[in-house]
Structure 1
């Protein structure tokens, strides 16, 4: 009990302003990355903290961040405008919300790794790397032009690791080449040819025989035509959006070094091609459905494994299934969209695009005839599907995933 005549004094509660700089930076480093854009507007002290190297070191001590999914949209304009496609929005899986993307206009994001995004200029082919949180960017030097004759056609672009590597896969099957940029040296290596995996030689010979038989009477090109159930003439060559023209998925085991990196991309015939970047070897993986079957397919990687997502329809029953690449090059189904959810795509000429991060797959379904579309998250461990809130101002055709990291250096 207070003595008579004494005055009670209320002590002000301590707050962030009372913290030592190191403690303040540790607290700020654990805030959701979306708040980093507003740190500099709070006070001079916070602005100084956001720009400090010790703050980036504190961010690096946060072991894992929830991913951001960078969504790309198709502009239904003339061909010239299609070359100016840009990212539309980003989905923050931590905040479960959409936000307008702050990326550079004009250039097209084609790959991501860690906290960095790789851009490619559609007109010049120039590559650059940027950290979306800090705005830091770096233009990559031009790759060497000493490719073998006929190996100049770009097939896929891959990015992985920390320090990061950028891999260009060029050529035409079965003559594939790679050239790699290493950020630790700041230079491109020499172009190297990819050889077909020895264990796949027999299968490749049989696949070549089947292709030759299918192409007999079709002019000898790589396209097989068939009639769909609606009577339309359908070609088996892949019809990809420009936003996904060079997309690939990289599965890394361990620290993500070159010895553990395997890139996957789709050939023009819709086959999944596996490229072991360390052994410099490739393989065409078994098809999930026959070449003459009408379906949409995309490939993704998460948790060190490769997945194929297939949207197909059989006897008027649409299905969207996820297949994991198992040991020995076989596919096994690990997830399937609930039939009630997949029923919306019945009869739609829909395209599926996907990207993985951690144990989750982001699946974008878009329809060329303005039919049903949507974005979904699938947990491949539990087969749990979630439809994301729609965005009325965008029709997504692709996605890239990255872990937002303030400390990621370009």
Structure 2
């Protein structure tokens, strides 16, 4: 019996070895991306295939890959911990091996953008191949543009956008990988569309506060769960996070970057028209909630975790053309009940039509990660992680061997 088994194994091995190189590379290209790191250890032929340009071309012919969700962690003392990644194809969590000392701040296609907190230097890397590229410093015109507000990345070839200044004086500067150079810094004009009914009401609130006739204070939850007024307390890992929506047809010319201002307002920057708008608040002033902005399926959303009369709710909102917000999804009440009184924080990321929502709190029973299909409002709780660090930021990308830095 043992001899027969060995014979069958040799026959199967011989059949695989007889495959033409093009066919072998086509088969290997359809393996889950998580397996690529092990190809080189199988045989010399597989190692050569994994390093070949034709193998990367075969990978490019695979139209869609299930996304990886990259999650950054902090411990109770707000010290950085190793990042983790959720492989949606393999339905498992894994330890992330990223650039040491740098913080991943954006992603596009199969690439991740890192920023050095000490120097501000930017590096683009392909996590599968290990290839990286240090971006040149922005132009001199960027130096006087003010404090960095957000970092955005989108497109293929990719573009990196830095949004700087203080509202209402915002500027952008863009790196284009096709040319390998930065453009000149450009000021953003306030969008005329902001004078919609909802935005005009928000403007009146701001004016009343400036005149001493009202209080525009909004209360948010800090990472530790404490109520913080006026300005958001954000982790260093998500200080410059943004979400880029390229419209339903995916056209880069329609790219809009959304980020949260320090007062908690959602700011939309039209990168092609060089204009911005402050969107009206999702919830009224004096309301305690946690909020994050996310893009998926070509649209932008605000994910809000709030509690009213001891009833917690986690809802997904989309900006409407009228300037208001409309609800598009809501976590089932039985699932959201676990967050009652937890003062939890939400960190979200999107890909395709799926949103990953990570809820962190001091209570392990009131924490977890969930996937939501915004088209069907179907919610799913993901398997727990092996570690217990708080998730403080999230990125998503499509793992692709052929993505060039």
TM-score of the superposed pair, with normalisation by structure 1 = 0.89
Change (3 A) 1:326 1:216: closer
CA contact (8 A) 1:154 1:170 kept: yes
348-357 or 206-215: bigger deviation: 206-215
Residue 4 of structure 1 is matched in structure 2 by none
1:404 aligns to what? 399
Q: Does 1:158 align with 2:152?
A: yes
> Do the aligned residues in 1 keep the contact of 2:123 with 2:135 (CA within 8 Å)?
yes
1:144 corresponds to 2:135: no
Structure 1 383/56 Cα, relative in aligned 2: closer, same or farther at 3 Å? same
Taking a change above 3 Å as real, the CA distance of residues 16 and 326 of structure 1, as seen in their structure-2 partners, is farther
Cα deviation, residue 236, structure 1: 3.2
Note the C-alpha offset of 1:153: 0.5
CA contact (8 A) 1:254 1:260 kept: no
CA distance in 2, matches of 1:155, 1:227: 18
Structure 2 residue aligned with 1:91: 86
- Distance 1:100-1:348 versus aligned 2 partners, 3 A rule: same
Match of residue 381, structure 1, among 375, 382, 386: 375
2:309 pairs with 1:342: no
The answer to whether the aligner puts 1:117 opposite 2:112 as a matched pair is yes
CA distance in 2, matches of 1:253, 1:46: 40
Alpha-carbon separation, structure 1, partners of 2:284 and 2:367:
25
Residue aligning to 2:29: 29
Q: How does 1:262-273 map to 2 (within 5 A)?
A: 262-273=256-267
Identify the residue that residue 18 of structure 1 maps to in structure 2.
Answer: 18
Change over 3 Å in CA distance of 1:371–1:216 after alignment to 2:
farther
Is the 1:160–1:166 contact (alpha carbons within 8 Å) kept by the matching residues of 2? yes
How far apart in 2 are the matches of 1:340 and 1:370?
Answer: 17
Cα displacement (A) at 1:274: 0.7
Structure 1 residues 233 and 322, CA gap change in structure 2 (3 angstroms): closer
For 1:2-401, what aligned pairs fall within 5 Å after superposition?
Answer: 12-13=11-12, 15-77=15-77, 82=79, 85=80, 87-147=82-142, 149=144, 151-201=145-195, 206-214=201-209, 224=217, 234-253=228-247, 256=250, 258-367=252-361, 372-393=366-387, 394-401=389-396
SS where residue 287 of structure 1 aligns? coil
Task: Note the C-alpha offset of 1:216.
Answer: 5.5
Alignment coverage as a number of residue pairs: 391
SS at match of 1:399: strand
Aligned partners of 1:236 and 1:291 also within 8 Å: no
Mapped to 2, the partners of 1:77 and 1:133 lie a distance apart of 31
- List runs of 5+ in structure 1 lacking aligned partners: 1-8
After superposition, what is the alpha-carbon deviation per residue over 1:25-65, rounded to whole angstroms, capped at 9, x for unaligned?
A: 00000000000010000000000000000000000000000
Q: Distance in 1 between matches of 2:167 and 2:330?
A: 31
User: Contact (CA 8 Å) 1:225, 1:235: kept in 2 or not?
Assistant: yes
| Alpha carbons of structure 1 residues 387 and 146: separation in structure 2 relative to 1, 3 Å | same
Give the RMSD, CA atoms, in angstroms: 2.5
Q: Distance in 2 between matches of 1:202 and 1:58?
A: 49
